Amino acid sequence: MPYPVVRHRRLRRTEALRRMVRETVLTPNDFVYPLFVTHGENVKSEISAMPGVYHWSVDRLEEEIREVRELGIPAVLLFGVPESKDAVGTSAYDPDGIVQRAIRKIKSIAPELTVIADNCLCQYTDHGHCGVIRQVGGEAVIDNDESLKVLARTAVSQAEAGADIIAPSNMMDGFVAAIRAALDEAGYSHIPIMSYSVKFASAYYGPFREAAHSAPQFGDRKTYQMDPANAREAMREAESDVAEGADILMVKPALAYLDIVRRIKERFDLPVAVYNVSAEYSMVKAAAMRGWIDERAVVLETLTGMKRAGADMILTYHAKDAARWLTGKS
């Protein structure tokens, strides 16, 4: 007797059945919402390349934080746009720096909200690179070890301000070990590190550089960010960060690198984060504004794909919209 044909469509017949057998379920708990905090007062300024995303001054943060909390989003990621920059990014570790003040403000409004502090120098250096520059034979190069000292000092300053997680995005060699050692020595051994373990030298960062005022003034970042063509190297980068004490591993960008997300998820027994970066966001927004796509359907499908690939948390500018769509909150 021949075997019967398996009718896969039986379980797709109604919306209720589809929900019952759904393998990947997206919720607001999956999201981290990035915020750009700037100097000045009474600032709420839309970023032209990222519709719906704003620069906020610290005194205006409360309205944004209350909305994030009401939507059930559990965490925010802070980027600072300081008033002054210099060659070594000293404002990054200023106790009264823009991110430090923002952390304290957010914790006074919503102490239960997880505040993640981005740890990099590109927003704070006048040359826009992620580390300290020195001249070698007439050529400007990143001084890796001097950069680590500034980054470690910045991490301690962020923890002192009340950050719940430090998220180093600089891609210097040994950055996790340096930051872990500095945090431990300063009495912050309980603060986890969300490492940008696999950060590619991507064309998808364009709108972010407008948002963070962090475009490099010369050259590019290909000497320290990863070649988009390399997968085995990504595994080596992640393995190094695990050995150095990372608590969460991140892949950035997300959409073009879901194969890397899956490989890291299968290889390492740590939570995996992905960053749904600025151009991924802006392309969807631009197409939706032209009426070419259904924004809600495309966003939720994309974020579900990231979770299905292995992401335990998704850093995304879509977080507020997606939380509304998932929960029905206005």
Q: From residue 175, give the alpha-carbon distance in Å to each of 97, 116, 127, 285.
A: 21, 17, 20, 34
Return the H-helix or E-strand segment holding 57: strand 54-57
Q: Which amino acid is at 59?
A: D
CB contact at 8 A, 179 and 168:
yes
Measured between alpha carbons, how far is 124 from 84 in angstroms, rounded to an integer? Answer: 8
Question: What are the beta bridge partners of residue 45?
Answer: 55
DSSP3 helix / strand / coil % (the chain, rounded to 5): 45, 20, 35
Q: Is 320 one of the catalytic residues?
A: no
Note the helical H segments in 97-165. 98-109, 144-161
CB contact at 8 A, 294 and 41:
no
SS3 232: helix
Measured between alpha carbons, how far is 99 from 120 in angstroms, rounded to an integer? Answer: 12
Measured between alpha carbons, how far is 207 from 47 in angstroms, rounded to an integer? Answer: 9
Measured between alpha carbons, how far is 197 from 251 in angstroms, rounded to an integer? Answer: 6
Measured between alpha carbons, how far is 252 from 31 in angstroms, rounded to an integer? Answer: 15
- Which one of the listed residues 85, 252, 285, 320 is annotated catalytic? 252
Structure tokens at 17: 């059945």
Nearest to 36 by CA among 90, 84, 98: 98
Measured between alpha carbons, how far is 122 from 252 in angstroms, rounded to an integer? Answer: 16
- Which one of the listed residues 44, 85, 105, 199 is annotated catalytic? 199
Q: Is 222 one of the catalytic residues?
A: no
CA atoms within 13 A on the CB side of 322: 26
147: left (phi over 0), alpha (psi -120 to 50) or beta: alpha
So which residues are the catalytic ones?
199, 252
